[in-house]
Every structure is written in C-alpha cells, then in structure tokens.
Amino acid sequence: MSNFTDPAILFFVFGILAGSLKSNLEIPPPISRFLSLYLLMALGLKGGFALAQSGLTPGVLVDLGAALAMAFSVPLIGYVVLRRFLSGFDAAAVAATYGSVSAVTFITASQYLDNHGVAFGGHMAAAMALMESPAIVFAVVMANHVRRRMNSRAGPNLAERGEKPLLGSNPPLGKILHEALTDGAQLLLLGAMLIGLMTGEAGQSAMKPFSVDLFKGMLAFFLLDMGLLAARNMGQLKGQSPWLVVYAVLGPLVHAGLALLLAWTLGMSAGNGALLMVLSASASYIAVPAVIRHAIPEASPSLYFGMSLGLTFPFNILLGIPLYLLAAQQVLA
C-alpha cells in the first residue's frame, strides 16, 4: 500500500517498533507539545486560506451539519453497545473517547489526501473542532445519571448508618463545558483559521514557508512520538474483555460506514466525505481523556486511553485512512 511508502507513516511504524523494543528513545514532552500546537496552527491557517477562497457556501454548512450529526450519534451508539459489557462509568468514558476526534489522525489524513491529489474543503478543520465537545457533554450527563441512580439505591441504607453517599457530587456541567470549549489546542485551531480567513491570499503567501514547507517534516517527527506512545500503551488492555479489542477496531469501521452513508445522502464530495469518515472513526487520546479523568473519576483511564491510543490510533493511521478514502472514492466520486 502506498501509505507505507510515506515517510511520515514510516516514522510512525519506526516509533512503534522502538517502543516495542523498550528503547529509551523519547521525545521530550515540551517538544511534543510544541509539535502538536504547530500542526494545529498550520492546519487552521490552511483551512482559513481555503475558506477565504471558497466562502461560506450552503455546501459548507451542509458538511458542518453532517459533522455535528455524527458528533451526537457516535457517542450515543457507543454507549448503548458498551453498556452491555462495561459499567456505566466506563461505558460513558469510552463512548466519549470514541465520539470525539483525534486531531493527529485528521491531520495525517489531510496530508494523505494532499499526497494523492484529492481535493477537500478547508472548512473540514472547523468540522473537526465542532466534533470535539458533544461527546464530552454526553458522557458527563450519562455519568451524572448513573451517580444519581446508584445514590438513590444506596441512600436509605447509608442514611441509617449515618454514612455519606457512595459517590461524590456531580461535577458542574458548566465547568466541564467551559473546559471543553476553551481547550487551548482547539482555540488555537479556530484562531488560526480565523486569521487565515481574514488575511486570504496575501497571508497564504507570507505563511507558506511556515504552514506548508515545514508541515511534512513536523508531522513525521510528531508521528514518531505517537508511535512510541502507542507501543507503550498497548499493554494497558491486558486482562480486559476481548470485546473491547473488537470494539476498538470494528467500532471505528462502523462509525466510518455511518459517516459514508450520511455523506452519500447529502451529496458530499469524495474528499470531504473521506475526512468525515476519518473524524467519525477516530478516537480522542488527548482532550477527552484529560477532561474525563476529572469529570468521571470512577472510570478506568487505562481502559479508554489504552483502547484509543494503543489500538484505534495505530489502526487508523496504518490501515484506516487509505480504506476510508478508497470507500469514499468508490461511493461518492
């Protein structure tokens, strides 16, 4: 597959191998953070420049609406399925992780489409930003529901013994919403997109050495770090239900299939449809786990973090992206 001749993807594979061999190769966290911010800033600028050329057309609004529809549908479907073999808290946390998106998967996919000459709209970066938060809100609401139900069942017995409720108070939804919507990485993406939209062609020429020429090398460096992290998190799923492994691979395929059906129904282009599939199939391993760790402390971080980073992320980077593009081209072209 041509994906395995891409230097950035090969650096990801190299990172997995080095991590599996327990090498001491490591990207310092501040550098990893810088690379992440650079990629989001460059992606936002590219999206803004593209939007400046195309404008906010009805087609753009339809694509953004499709993204929001998937952002609400995926965590709901995931929770219903996961609740069959996980606790309510773990099911909510995993559903939020898979209902949200992976910026790095999206960035890698957009570069893959560029490499293959497949056109897509810059507004799809805004779609990614829109898909970040609904899953977090859904998970917090479901976790609060589980807490209330458990406390109502245990409350009378605890009151007789003079004890406090089994579970802590529910985190304020407003605070969770604020954390989700003001996340620094997401704000940088949107801010860069706005700047690109405002400066247009002149800004594109001025920023080309930064947002275009450096992009491929920075992505390769960052994927090396992601490969190392993925390898070191694969072991977190040892001893877990084999159904979780199945969900970590088949779940994204089902989500991508639903996105393809929606894209076909709405008449989306192959490039935009492929990116909607990538967003729907991806799983967050940065923003959502950071919020969920505090919002749903009863859930197991090794579960949702290990699934998203140890299994789903490598699957999407190595196999999923080419598969989603192929399916989009077959159905939407």
Give 261-298 pLDDT, tens digit per residue.
999 999 999 999 999 999 999 998 877 777 787 778 88
More confident residue, 178 or 72: 72
More confident residue, 259 or 142: 259
Local confidence band at 163 (pLDDT 50, 70, 90 cut-offs): very low
What pLDDT was estimated at residue 300? 83
Local confidence band at 177 (pLDDT 50, 70, 90 cut-offs): low
Q: 102-111, 143-152, 168-177, 232-241: which has the highest mean pLDDT?
A: 102-111
What pLDDT was estimated at residue 164? 46
Q: Region 309-330: what's the mean pLDDT?
A: 93
Helix (H, G, I), strand (E, B) or coil at 34: helix
Using the Cα atoms of residue 24, residue 28, residue 29 and residue 33 in order, give the sign of their dihedral: negative
Burial code (b: 16+ CB inside 10 Å, e: under 16) for 213-242 equals: eebeebbbbbbbbbbbbbbbbbebbeebee
- Tokens representing 162 are 């003079």
Q: Which amino acid is at 259?
A: A
Cα–Cα nearest to 325, from 35, 46, 112:
112
Q: Yes or no: say if 292 and 97 are a contact pair by the CB < 8 Å rule.
A: yes
Angle between the N-to-C axes of helices 287-295 and 173-181, in degrees from 0 to 180, rounded to the nearest 10 = 160
Whether residue 158 has pLDDT greater than 50: no
What pLDDT was estimated at residue 1? 52
Helix (H, G, I), strand (E, B) or coil at 6: coil
Whether residue 82 has pLDDT greater than 60: yes
Q: Yes or no: say if 101 and 135 are a contact pair by the CB < 8 Å rule.
A: no
> Chain-centre distance of CA 68, in angstroms?
14
Whether residue 324 has pLDDT greater than 90: yes
Q: Region 190-196: what's the mean pLDDT?
A: 88
Local confidence band at 230 (pLDDT 50, 70, 90 cut-offs): confident
> Chain-centre distance of CA 307, in angstroms?
13
For residue 154, the surrounding DSSP H or E stretch is: helix 134-161
Second CATH level (architecture) for the domain 28-332: Up-down Bundle (1.20)
What pLDDT was estimated at residue 247? 93
Contacts of 249 (CB under 8 A, 6+ apart): 311, 312, 315
The average confidence (pLDDT) of the chain is 85
Local confidence band at 189 (pLDDT 50, 70, 90 cut-offs): confident
More confident residue, 41 or 256: 256
Beta strands per DSSP E along the chain:
none
Whether residue 61 has pLDDT greater than 50: yes
pTM summary value: 0.85
Q: Which amino acid is at 287?
A: A
What pLDDT was estimated at residue 309? 86
